[in-house]
Amino acid sequence: MHEGNQAEAPLNPGLVFDMVQAHQRSAALKAAIELDVFRAVGQGPGDVASIARHCTASERGTRILCDFLVINGVLAKENGNYKHTPSSAAFLDPSSPACMASVAYFMSNPALREPYDNLASVVRAGRTSLEGEGTVEPENPVWVEFAEKMAPMMAPMAAPLGGVVLNGHSGPMHVLDIAAGHGLFGIEIAKQNPQARVTGLDWAPVLRVALKNAEKAGVQDRYNMLPGSAFDVDFGGPYDVVLLTNFLHHFDKPTCVSLMKKVHSALKPGGRAATLEFVPNEDRVSPPMPAAFSLTMLTTTPAGDAYTLSELTEMYTRGGFSNVKGHPIPMSPHTIVMGTA
């Protein structure tokens, strides 16, 4: 660094400023959802006074918050009135079937945010500062909330996952859905293949959420529940397909390998395991969303990570699988990884 050159360079403080202030974006979205701003905008007419009335909020606060949402692309402004962007209409207006407000709520859960208040000490320690094992602590109630709130984010992944996993297979089929959560992935298989039976494995209070979703989908007669920990419970089987969605990233590699071995031994010969994961490229810094997910694993788990395809392939291979392939889901940060027993 040469001080002379530095002094001549045009300085733009924007980059640092923007990153320091990024927390405002999370707070603004949370406040807007809490105040029901997106419903108010959807109902119109969209002037500050009407929105403020709907939200029981001050006009100054409403105007400044709505302008901030426009700046961030989740509202539009025309002649001083606010209206939806396509994205805010689809994902943030409670009247939309794809509304993700509950996802935003889950993800801004104060119980999961605490490690960010002192991230330096988390980086020093190399593990979550949450109590016990963090989100992988047995029976952590956060997973009931995950099952209840994250469905709108995961629902769009269900159809593509079902398509990749079934790949035209019909006929009788037994599927184990490990860490079923909301249950949507197993339920999707049951919907796409009327002869598929699904066993959901998760903590008992979580499975109650999955069962409700199975009832909504009308597949409850082919939905069984296996309550407990994926590491302790006997899987039964043998199965044609095992789903392992949003699960491996919580654990270190040896733990994942031993789980893949257990999965392998619960599959029929030729049966398949499918994981749904955030899979960064081998450089670990792209694409942005899957790569950034490792920070969430640092703050919430003792040893989890966003694994690359080569790392996941190694886990599958050491678990006894062959023919391991990644299937990125278009328009999403998720990748399905399939392997054959």
Q: Which of residues 252-271 bind its own copies (CB under 8 A)?
A: none
Task: Please report how close the Cβ of residue 136 comes to its own copies at its closest, in angstroms.
Answer: 15
Q: Which stretch binds its own copies (CB under 8 A): 87-95, 175-183, 235-243, 314-322?
A: 87-95
CB atoms near residue 23 (< 10 Å): 10
Which string of x and - marks every residue 25-64 that binds its own copies (by CB under 8 A)? Answer: xxxxxxx--xx------x------------xxxxxxxxxx
Per CB under 8 A, does 8 bind its own copies? Answer: no
Is residue 18 at the binding interface for its own copies, with CB under 8 A as the rule?
yes
Q: What is the DSSP string of 252-319?
A: -HHHHHHHHHHHHHTEEEEEEEEEEEE---TTSS-SHHHHHHHHHHHHHSSS-----HHHHHHHHHHT
Cβ 193 to its own copies, closest distance in Å?
Answer: 21
Residue type at 103?
Answer: V
Long-range contacts, stretch 150-155, CB < 8 angstroms, 24+ apart: 150/102, 150/103, 150/106, 150/181, 150/182, 151/102, 151/182, 151/184, 151/213, 152/98, 152/99, 152/100, 152/102, 152/103, 153/100, 153/103, 154/181, 154/182, 154/184, 154/185, 154/245, 154/246, 155/184
Q: By C-alpha distance, which of 243, 266, 268, 267 is closest to 192? A: 243
Which of 67, 137, 148, 314: binder of its own copies (CB under 8 A)?
67
Q: Does the protein bind its own copies through residue 122 (CB under 8 A)?
A: yes
Q: How far is the CB of 182 from its own copies (least distance, A)?
A: 14
Q: Which residue from 39, 40, 41, 65 is in contact with its own copies, where contact means CB under 8 A?
A: 65
- List 126, 172, 269, 270, residue binding its own copies (CB under 8 A): 126
61 versus 228: smaller Cβ distance to its own copies: 61
Piece in contact with its own copies (CB under 8 A), picked from 122-130, 131-139, 206-214, 224-232: 122-130
Within the chain, strands assigned E span 76-78, 81-83, 173-178, 196-202, 223-227, 239-245, 267-278, 322-328, 334-340
Q: Select from 135-143, 243-251, 280-288, 309-317 the region that touches its own copies (CB under 8 A).
A: 280-288
Applying the rule CB under 8 A, the residues between 148 and 167 that interact with its own copies are 153, 156
Q: Quick one: which of 8, 232, 234, 283 contacts its own copies (CB under 8 A)?
A: 283
Span 296-315, contacts to its own copies by CB under 8 A: 296-298, 303, 305
Candidates 220, 218, 335; CA nearest to 280 is 335
Token couple for 326? 């990644």
Site for its own copies in 194-253 (CB under 8 A): none
Q: Which of 49, 71, 204, 233 binds its own copies (CB under 8 A)?
A: 71
By the rule CB under 8 A, 139 interacts with its own copies = no
Query: Residues 260, 318: contact at Cβ < 8 Å?
Result: yes
- Structure-token pair, residue 217: 């989908």
Stretch that binds its own copies, among 18-26, 234-242, 256-264, 267-275 (CB under 8 A): 18-26
